[in-house]
Amino acid sequence: MSGHLSTQTHADGALSRRLGFWSAMGLVVGITIGAGIFRTPAVVAARVPHPGLMLTVWVLGGLISLCGALSVAELAAAFPHTGGWYVYLREGWGRLVAFLFGWSELVLIRASATGSLATVFSEYLLRSIGIDASSSQSVSYVAAAAIAVTAAINIRGVQMGAALAGLSSVAKFGGLSILVLASVALTGTATRDVPLTAAAPTVDPKLFGLALISSLYAYDGFADVAFSAGEVRDAHRTLPRAIIGGTLAIIAIYLAANWSYLHVNGIEGMSRSTLVAADTMQSLIGPTGVSFISVVVTLSTLGALTGIMLTAPRIFFAMADDDLFFTTLARVHSRYKTPYVAISLAAVLGIAFVLTRTFEQLSDTFVLSIWPFYGLAVAGLYRLRRTRPTLSRPYKVPAYPFLPAIFIAAVVYLVGTAIAADPVWTAVTFGIVLAGIPVYLVAFSRPRPIA
């Protein structure tokens, strides 16, 4: 394992550690609060048509994410290196598993995530300026342009990208807070009672599981800041604090936002409202409220897109520096000190996906292809505790081994539900992931000699 750490130290040394605690926490919030909280509440309400159970879904999703955040924080403190999940999989399970994650990031995960966020950004941007977004072609073109612009911003410098993501975090967190406060302060015919303790109707367990998956999609991104660990100051201390603090803030605002949606629209209104945030502000304030929340969603998705373009390309950079990918991707810009080749590649793939696939296809592919790796990375905690007992661990997950086990069980449940719901597409997705095995065996199975 020492070879891994030595090459990773070289990678970290090529990048500048410029991100402090607030910038890192801003990235956690900025990446996680993207399109999910503005799209998925209606889906959850339709599948679980009871106020108390609906909020329970969001509580469970938050607790599962918090278990993941607390577990990943130990890995981030022990391995504060560029690459995040890739590093944890490499140290826990070896080069092949780490390569498969990077391969999946390249061909499926980040291109799908980037494309889905850019699509929602485009839809709300066009709506906010009064342009009909019904033409999928115009939405795709604007989305592709957004990917290109955010890539250029992040090539220009990590501080500029982090600043934009952080500013967006303030805007989206502030926008949701205003929505919550307005739902409390403004009363009238628009507001409804929220009978949380009313007798619950019979809910199909499968629908409850699908609703939980939808909430987990909205919570996804809680540890993506670790991809840029090589650019975080005092990473051993900063990363755990940023990951845990950011996740707690997200849980709080998600629960408050869903309560507000219920308070204004009722459970039936929520289930029928695809754009529930816009409908809530329409009821409270009118057209001005719709315009306001449309701008907030536009900024939200732009910030998340910027955050992904900032963090995800560091995986390819770390892999190339670790001799698990093409070395060209490890190039750092001589002036801006950013992995410009890796960022450019991520942008090209994202543009290709957004021009050829729908939002639903992009989001489904993302969830199915990345969550198994989340579970493997957290499961690696058990192996590392056993095989590397002397490893420096500035932070340890509390209630070990129970909290990591809860997260792993949730991942197994998520994947099992996906297999039951759509076995064909699940097989196709996993087939693409496993196609990386022959690529690894032919090109990258032999690590370079350590000097």
Both structure tokens of 103: 């391969």
**Helix 359-387 with 110-128: angle, nearest 10 deg:** 140
CATH top-level class of 2-417: mainly alpha
Per-residue pLDDT at 165: 59
Both structure tokens of 6: 């030595």
Q: Which of 125-134, 244-253, 357-366 has the largest mean confidence? A: 244-253
13 falls in which pLDDT band (50, 70, 90)? very low
**CA 130 to mean position of chain CA atoms:** 29
* 11-26 average pLDDT score: 65
* 410-433 average pLDDT score: 86
> Alpha-carbon distance 166 to 293, whole Å?
18
Per-residue pLDDT at 94: 92
Q: Does 188 have pLDDT greater than 70? A: no
Backbone angles phi, psi at 358, to 5 degrees: -85, 170
What percentage of the chain reaches a pLDDT higher than 70? Answer: 82
* Annotated domain spans of the chain: 2-417
Q: Which of 33-42, 58-67, 155-164, 241-250 has the largest mean confidence? A: 58-67
> Alpha-carbon distance 28 to 289, whole Å?
27
Longest dimension (CA), the chain: 73
* 315-344 average pLDDT score: 74
Q: How many CB atoms lie within 10 A of CB 368?
A: 24
Q: 27 vs 159, which has greater pLDDT?
A: 27
Q: Does 105 have pLDDT greater than 50? A: yes
Per-residue pLDDT at 117: 84
Per-residue pLDDT at 167: 64
320 falls in which pLDDT band (50, 70, 90)? confident
pTM of the model: 0.78
405 falls in which pLDDT band (50, 70, 90)? very high
Cβ atoms of 205 and 12 within 8 Å: the answer is no
Q: 189 vs 296, which has greater pLDDT?
A: 296
Which range, of 94-98, 290-294, 304-308, averages the lowest pLDDT? 304-308
- Closest to 310 (Cα-Cα) out of 79, 28, 75, 81: 28
Per-residue pLDDT at 100: 94
CA distances from 51 to 178, 185, 262 (A): 22, 21, 7
Per-residue pLDDT at 227: 63
- Give per-residue pLDDT as tens, 360-385: 778 778 888 888 999 999 999 999 99
- Give per-residue pLDDT as tens, 193-230: 555 555 556 667 778 888 888 888 888 887 777 666 66
Q: Does 92 have pLDDT greater than 90? A: yes
189 falls in which pLDDT band (50, 70, 90)? very low
Per-residue pLDDT at 57: 93
> Alpha-carbon distance 71 to 85, whole Å?
12
> Alpha-carbon distance 78 to 391, whole Å?
7
The full DSSP string for 378-447 is: HHHHHHHHHH-TTS--SS--TTTTHHHHHHHHHHHHHHHHHHHH-HHHHHHHHHHHHTHHHHIIIIISSP
7 falls in which pLDDT band (50, 70, 90)? very low
What is the average pLDDT score of the chain? 79
The residue assigned the tokens 């941007």 is 125
Per-residue pLDDT at 372: 92
158 falls in which pLDDT band (50, 70, 90)? low
What percentage of the chain reaches a pLDDT higher than 90? Answer: 16
- Give per-residue pLDDT as tens, 58-76: 999 999 988 988 888 888 8
